[in-house]
């Protein structure tokens, strides 16, 4: 398994993957030394994440190697269908997956998403529009949603 640490506007991200695809992107709350030479298997992921944070990329085109239960994989696949700049609620995801009563299970699978930003779990909000739990911290979720927002807040001064 190849590993790389890259800088993002929200902290250091740890990328893990191999020839089978990108398996994990996590945001860290600790300082890690950045990787000088990105392993070949992670070059595309590092490049595309850099483009995303520069506002030049709205969709990732990466080979993914997601490990999880069939249900988790179904939730993660549904997350990939939420368009850039849009949000969905846990209830909407549950309906998409065919079981309106699966809200808690959908939330749990969302929380176990191993591919921070690439599989956009940050786009899932509460039914009332509230920012709900986020493994990377609500401040990061808010930043990501504002980053993707088609309407940018402008300063009056």
Domain ranges for the chain: 2-53, 70-148
Residue 133's pLDDT is 78
CATH architecture of structural domain 70-148: Orthogonal Bundle (1.10)
Q: Whole-prediction pTM value?
A: 0.90
What confidence score (pLDDT) does residue 154 get? Answer: 58
pLDDT per residue of the chain (157 residues) written in tens, 0 to 9: 999 999 999 999 999 999 999 999 999 998 899 999 999 999 999 999 999 999 999 999 999 999 999 999 999 999 999 999 999 999 999 999 998 898 999 999 999 999 999 999 999 998 888 888 787 889 999 999 999 998 766 555 5
Q: Determine phi and psi for 108, rounding to 5 degrees.
A: -65, -45
pLDDT value of residue 151: 73
**Cβ-count burial 31-61 (b if 16+ within 10 Å, e if not):** eeeebeebbebbebbbebbeebbeeeeeebe
User: Which residues are catalytic, by number?
Assistant: 121
């Amino acid at each position: 398994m190849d590993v790389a640490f890259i800088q993002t506007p929200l902290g250091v991200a740890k990328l893990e993957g191999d020839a089978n695809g990108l398996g994990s992107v996590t945001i860290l709350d600790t300082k890690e030394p950045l990787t000088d030479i990105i392993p070949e298997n992670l070059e595309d992921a590092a490049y595309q994440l850099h483009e995303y944070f520069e506002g030049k990329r709205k969709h990732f085109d990466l080979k993914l190697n997601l490990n999880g239960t069939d249900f988790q994989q179904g939730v993660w696949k549904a997350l990939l269908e939420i368009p850039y700049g849009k949000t969905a609620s846990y209830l909407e995801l549950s309906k998409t997956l065919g079981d309106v009563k699966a809200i808690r299970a959908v939330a749990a699978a969302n929380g176990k998403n191993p591919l921070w930003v690439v599989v956009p779990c940050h786009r899932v909000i509460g039914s009332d529009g509230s920012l709900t739990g986020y493994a990377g911290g609500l401040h990061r979720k808010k930043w990501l949603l504002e980053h993707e927002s088609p309407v940018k807040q402008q300063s009056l001064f």
